[in-house]
Structures are given as C-alpha cells and as structure tokens.
Structure 1
Amino acid sequence: MTNNIFRIFNPEAPKEDRVQKRRAQVRQAQQTYRERKEAYTKALEREVARGKAREADLLRENERLRERVERLVGKLGQHGIEDSDEVADPPLTEHGIITKSKNPLAPDSSASHLGDVDPVALGMDFVLALERPCLEHLHGDPEKPEDPSGHTLTLSSQVCAVSSPSDSTSPVSPESINQHVVPAAMLENLLALSSQVGVSDDQITPVQAWNLIRYQPHFGGFEISALRTLAETLRDTIKCHGFGAVVPLSVFRRLTFELLLQDKPF
C-alpha cells in the first residue's frame, strides 16, 4: 500500500507514466493559453467597439456644434455683423463624418460614373456589400458570447459599433447597419490595420480590394453599374475563415479586368 501511495513521487516510475504526465501538462498549458488568448481578444474587441462608439459620439457632437455655429453666424450677418476668420468654421475633412441619403451603388442611383459620387461613401458601400456574407456571425456564436467574434477589423463590425454600440449577440441584418453617419476616416483606419488580419498572400480583404480599385488611373470614369456588378460577383467568391471576409486575389484581378478595365485605354 505504501508503495502505491507514494508512487507518483517515485523517480523510478515507468517512463510511460512520465511521458503521459508531461503530455497532460502540455495539453493543460495549451488549453489555459487558448482560454486566456480568447478572453484577451474578446476584451480588445469590446474596447475597440467602445472606442469607435465614443469617436462617433464626438464626431456627431462636433457636427451638431458646427451647424449651430453656422446658424449663429448667419444670424449675425442678418444684423449687419460681418463674419471673421477667427470664428469661421473650417469644412470637415477626412476626419469628419459622412452624411449621405442614398446608397451610391443602388440600382436607382442617378449617378452613372464613380467620379460623380463621394468616393468615401462609394467605398463604404462597396466594402459592406462584400462583407454581407459575414453578417450572420458578426457577433460571434450566440451560445458562446464570451468567445471573440474575430470580426472586429471589418467595416460591418465598425459601423455596427458606431450606429448601435451594444453588446448584442443577435445576428446582424443588412437593414440594421446605419452607414449614413459614420467617421469618414474609418476606411483608412481599417486599411492600415488590414495587415494584422492574418490573410495569406493570395487573398485580400474587402477594404484592400477597394483600395486597389480607387487607385486605378481611370477610377473616375468607371461606370457605377460595372462596380455594382463587380461587387455582386465578388460576393459569391467570398470566404470567411473566422476573421472576416476575404477574396482570392487571382479572382479579384480577373474580375476587375473583365468588368472594369477591359475597355479602358492604357
């Protein structure tokens, strides 16, 4: 009995026992690491969502104050008091907000070429169209709300955080995404972070795809209907490996050439 009690402390224990014990320790360490990593990632996702919501609130408040200043300046002018450069409010730049009433990619859009519409709003619509297959799992697994969703660095997730900064785990529908008032710098921020998503060299994210399109020499002359067709066709090739939508680079290049570039002079 004594030998059995103290066997686990016996350095003369069979080699197989020590190997099994070591494997169990390694598995436990790996599980602990995964759990801590998932908890850390989820905490980062929540903090990013809160940060984006705060940024959007500040931008909305800035826009409200700007409109109020414009009204006050107008009243001063009505009373013969001239405006001065000291109180004149500079126009909003890329760090302002986008306000648009219609989707530029909508079939009933009055514009015919990309140069006729706001390129930032157009980029928002293009990227959101490609990310639509990810909407159902944007908030992760409802049965495992503590697990990270892996979609924090997608435009859809950022827009949801701005328009409805809640921790809801309900599936997201395209109609619930309010893209009419969002930070104009959001695309640039996501592009800067896209290298951290972890896609392979033969894939690109939707925001990277848009970046390649907008720097084409004939960008302004592309037809909106052609871009709409490109977005719809690319959406059928979208893959999601748990961290957001990706497009095969070879497919993107082929479709972009066929639908946008084929008839353009070089």
Structure 2
Amino acid sequence: MNHVIRLPQLDCLFPGPAPEREVLLAAGGRAPQPVWLKEAAAGRAVWCVDHGIDCCQRSRIVPERVIGDGDSASGAGWAWGRQLGVPMEEYPAEKNLTDLQLALQTASTVYRQAAVVVTGVWGGRFDHAFSNIYSLTGCAALGLSRCLAADQTEVLLLLQGEDAVRLTWRAAPEVISLLPLSGTCSGVSIQGVHWPLDRVELLSTLPYAVSNRPAAAEVSVALASGSLGVYLCWQSAHVAADS
C-alpha cells in the first residue's frame, strides 16, 4: 500500500497507508507565493504559526488554528487572527520551545496520525532554518507520519529508518540533493538522476550527495536506516518570484 502527498509542483509517493489528515503549517520564514499557497492549502487543514498569519491574510486563506507568541506577526495580521473565531493558542515570547515546535506538538495531539507540510521555513537566519529542519526530524517521535518543508522554490522531504519515496513533477527541479540529517545514513540509493547511488553510506560530516540533477521523468530514493533529507530546488522559480 502506498500514498501520495501532492504539492503544486511535485508528487511524492511514499510506502504505507495514507495519513488520517494532512496539515499545512504556515510558519514565519520566507512567505510562499499566494498562488502556490492557495493550491497547497486545498484539501488540507491550514494552521498559522506566528508570522504565518500574515501570508494567510494576504492570500485570503482562513486558518483552522493560530499558534504562537505573535512577536513576528504584524499587528494587523494578529488582530485579524483574533477576529476569526478559530482556536488561537497564544504563548509568551519568553518560552522554552519555538512556535513551530509547539505547533508540531499540538498537531500530534489533535490528530491521531497526520502528515505535515510546513511552508515559511526558508529564508532569514541560519539558526532559525537549522532549528526548523531538525524540529521536523522529530516528527516521527511525535507520531506524525510525514513532515515536509516546502514552497514554490524549495522542498525538503524526510525519510527515516527503512523508507523510500518516488518523485514525479509538473516541472523538473534543477537540483536534487541528499542530506544526511543523522550521523550516518545507510543503504542510500537514488535512481533517475545524473549521478545515481546504490546502497551507499552517507555521513553528516561528509555530505557529498548534493547538486545532483534529474535525468528521467521520475526519481526514486531509498534508505535503509538513518534520517535523510531529500532536497529539491527550482532555481528558475526564484527568478520568477523576484521579477
């Protein structure tokens, strides 16, 4: 049994049954394009995480839940969130966990089993991006079945333990990289790319499997053990977003 997680530019076919629910978390990093966000939100529960309330307001997407301390959201956006009548979990700015970590924990309690797509992960400070990505690697421990970080230009999906994914797209990415997010990733294979790999070991101290490129209409990645990030970049989308 397999299931598909669809993004506007990409289909990800994973092994195993479909999750109970898919949740789109709009976080406070680089905002996605409104067209991308609207398409990604279709069929998903949308939650806003702090500054993510602003991109949802601009895109006229009403979230089902708002979480955060409000320190990076605009005053108008946060006030709009309060007026929506949806659950709003406000936290003090001085707290132990980040807003995204709180949102992931809440999603794991609201839904028995959920897949989470987080947008607003990229851009800004490196320490924020580092915390965001490694927080996603903890999704499995929370009981969340899948976690992805995505917008129109960058996607990172996580494979953990014995896992695999088959990727197809509407427009081919320019870059595909494999990022070992645990100390060792064993049994790593990738097919359908310019530089295929067959059951190799990747180390976080020597992450060489970067800047690959697709050579077929479909790319498959497999992992025997560890925590592996599969990163895709549509560089031309950066140009379109900036023009």
TM-score by length of 1: 0.24
Q: Which has the higher contact order (CA 8 A, sep 6+)?
A: 1
Structure showing greater radius of gyration is 1
TM-score by length of 2: 0.25
* Greater fraction of residues in helix: 1
* Greater fraction of residues in strand: 2
